[in-house]
Structure 1
């Protein structure tokens, strides 16, 4: 491991990592469009084309309704974590408001 011995700088290691082919474990771990290999993208293109051809034969296809959806690449890991933290913050705020409402109701009940 030249990185730890000083023979490889962190910048050079990052540059080398970004040059890894699509579908490599590094890209799979980080997510995004490069998480899928070129072969996988090709297979998805074929799959989507076949689904679209089959869809055209259906009643919905003749009317142009409900076309098959293309599969989206996996989201970036940071995006997933950001959404999770945003959802957690929203849930905590909701719970705080609910506790405040319940406290007001208890005060009103005691006043009666």
Structure 2
């Protein structure tokens, strides 16, 4: 996961609302989790169902500190679905799964507190 700015330095530069609307953030349900032992940093390969309009996409996520693979299937997560795919080793990551850093900088997944339909867009 590459950050546009250093989150410790404060807020990012202001953007226009139209720029925000270009980022397509959707909710999906994790349907499969696979190990990713060849990743440089501990990570998991997620398969996420974003509903019929977008379908199933894959993502590499460095979330092994707080999450076990067997606990993730069925969990809803938010992801950016309109970035170009990114090659991570031999794996093609198609979406960017979203999270926030905890006090130690480890990823905590971002998800709704109530179940919503897969494919719903953030607004």
Q: Which has the higher contact order (CA 8 A, sep 6+)?
A: 2
Which TM-score band applies after superposition, normalised by the shorter structure? under 0.3
TM-score (norm 1): 0.19
Bigger helix share? 1
TM-score (norm 2): 0.18
Structure exhibiting the larger radius of gyration computed from Cα positions: 1
